[in-house]
Structure 1
Amino acid sequence: MKPNVTIEYCPKCGWLLRAAWMAQELLTTFQDDLKSVSLIPSEVPGRYQITLNEELVWDRKREGHFPEPKELKKRIRDIIDPERNLGHNDR
């Protein structure tokens, strides 16, 4: 079964576009590997978390910054298909 990615973002902080951009990046790179990417407006102020099948992959507060697409793609890849080559993202 293909995994689900959830991006929980703070709507009051204006992070919907950032979350949508990350969703687009993931769906483009992993179009055959993911079942879905869901955007969830958080009720927790300042939250920006990304999970894969409920496993926390990225937490903005813990990491101290938002993920770059390259960072996030590597983390997702390392979980769903560690042998996969991400091309220029692996350099």
Structure 2
Amino acid sequence: MRSGMKKSLWLAGALLLGACGGTEAPTPPEDTPAVGESQAALGYDESIHCLVSSSMIRCASGMYAYAQWSDELGSWYIERNACGPRGPIICPL
């Protein structure tokens, strides 16, 4: 490859990298909670969650819905409609 061609490829690469924002990692906004803190902060809410005996429930579709552990309650809890519209509803009202 000729040196002129190499220089133009380097220049094109540098321009593309500059147009994409460079190599700096983006910083999250200050009011955004760290990963994992947002769900942990929600905690157990009796109106949308119910207590279950294990860390996961098998849905009718064959998929698994995963529960969250609460040290305060000493139990697993999960959303009532964790399996979606096809059910099952984990704990009826």
TM-score exceeds 0.5: no
TM range (shorter): under 0.3
| TM-score, normalised relative to structure 1 | 0.24
| TM-score, normalised relative to structure 2 | 0.24
Ranked by relative contact order (alpha carbons within 8 Å, sequence separation 6 or more), the top structure is 1
**Which structure's CA Rg is the greater one?**
2
